Amino acid sequence: MIKVTIDNILIEVDEGTTILNAARKIGGKVVPPAMCYYSKLKGSGGKCRTCLVKVSHSSTKDPRPMPKLVASCSTPVQDGMVVENLTSPEVIDARKGIVEFLLLNHPLDCPVCDQAGECDLQDLSFGFGMEETATEEQRREFPMTDIGDKIKLHMNRCILCYRCVYVADQLTDQRLHGILYRGDVSEIGTFIQNAITNDFSGNVIDVCPVGALTDKTFRFKSRVWFLKPMNVHRECSKCSGKVTAWMFGNEIYRITGRKDQYGELEEYICNECRFEKKALTDWVIEGPRHIKRQSVISANHYERMKMQSIIKPIEGLMESQE
């Protein structure tokens, strides 16, 4: 066990833990935001630079500060390390710049995008972003593509976090998509529009921090804050069957995996649960999900489940008012 101090909070963690995971053990505002790191995907992280922190005291052996801000998702802690996240104005300033970089090619089409309301980049730019950008150049534009018949890829919105690539690599037996080209022209693609047919391919939608990969069965159906997320489950031979159903009245609009407080999936779910089971009779309802008060999804939502009335409205009474 080694001791680290993050934002003046002392914690003991195992050797080899990254700064980000040490901060997550403390929890709360100390945790640096992450766009590409995903604790359940091996090798993820180190790409978006959102989680930059300042190390003002490397270790007890070597008390010098680290020369540059470091990516907390890929830097292991050392004994006696002192990390500054929100307490350092330098970090806040750097994060502002990172948001600007991420938004260089990200279109501001949130009113159209299905991810709006649960988008990590939206939260990040709301928290750290600036109102203006220093660049005048055009954003890169791609034609919209379909990955299979259920997943839509908006390459315009992609921030190249590689999460979906890791999901395909680690979860499915055969990866059919990846990053094509290099540098600022690189893009997510399938070779000659190869369809991803694996049973768990739908999870790329949930791991995508932005709206680049979206559910075609939910495309433009509703906005997430009009829907009620419910914990539901069913017997499934392929996955655990524990999912979140996004409901509007008695209708299920879409199914996603259950996400924890860092926006990461608790369990991966199969495509059958995600895309095909949209009837209420397929699922057993456990109850409403807890929504963070800060989230727009919490608008007009109540944690208590209200059962539908068994008394039918008198039809003639309503018609006379028309």
Partner 1 sequence: MMNLTNRSKVVSNKQMTFWERIYIPAILGGMRITFGHLFRRKTTVQYPEVTREFSEIYRGKHVLKRDDDGRERCTACGLCAVACPAEAITMISAERKPGEEHLYREEKYASVYEINMLRCIFCGDCEDACPKEAIFLTREMVRSEYARGKFIFGKAELVEPFDPAKRIDISKRQTPEVLEFKKNRSYKHNR
Which residues contact partner 1 by CB under 8 A? 108-112, 116, 136, 219-223, 225-226, 296, 299-300, 321-322
Q: Closest distance between partner 1 and the C-beta of residue 291, in Å? A: 14
Shortest Cβ distance from residue 134 to partner 1 (Å)? Answer: 13
Half-sphere exposure of 173 (CA within 13 A, CB side): 3
Instruction: Determine contact, residues 76/17, Cβ cutoff 8 Å.
Output: yes
- Tally of CB atoms within 10 A around 321: 5
User: In the complex, what is the shortest distance from the CB of residue 225 to partner 1, in angstroms, rounded to a whole number?
Assistant: 5
Q: CB–CB of 86/29 below 8 Å?
A: yes
C-beta closer to partner 1: residue 223 or 233: 223
Rg (CA), the chain: 22
Any residues with CB less than 8 A from the CB of 179 and at least 6 apart, and which?
160, 162, 165, 186, 187, 188, 189
In whole angstroms, the minimum distance from the beta carbon of 140 to partner 1 comes to 14
Q: Nearest approach, Cβ of 103 to partner 1 (angstroms)?
A: 13
3-state secondary structure of 172: coil
DSSP state string for 239-299: S--EEEEEEETTEEEEEE--B-TTS-BSS---HIIIII--SGGG-EEEEEPP--TTSGGGT
Tell me if 174 sits within 8 A of 144, measured CB to CB.
Answer: no
Strand ordering across the sheet containing 70-71: 9-13, 2-6, 81-84, 52-57, 70-71
Alpha carbon of 105 to those of 73, 133, 214: distances in Å?
A: 23, 11, 18
Of the candidates 100, 118, 10, the residue with the CA atom closest to the CA atom of residue 49? 100
- Among residues 54 and 106, whose Cβ is nearest to partner 1? 106
Cα separation of 296 and 280, whole Å? 25
With contact defined as beta carbons under 8 Å apart, do 19 and 4 qualify?
yes
Nearer to partner 1, 18 or 156 (CB): 156
CA neighbours within 13 Å on the CB side: how many for 128?
26
Nearer to partner 1, 221 or 234 (CB): 221
For residues 225 and 262, which CB has a smaller minimum distance to partner 1 in the complex? 225
Nearest distance from residue 222's CB to partner 1, in Å?
A: 8
Closer Cβ to partner 1, 281 or 300, answer by number: 300
Complex with partner 1: residue 3 or 301, whichever CB lies closer: 301
Assign 90 to helix, strand or coil.
helix
Closest CB 145 distance from partner 1, rounded Å? 14
Cβ proximity to partner 1, 138 vs 308, nearer residue: 138
Nearer to partner 1, 110 or 179 (CB): 110
**Minimum distance from residue 107 beta carbon to partner 1 (Å):** 8
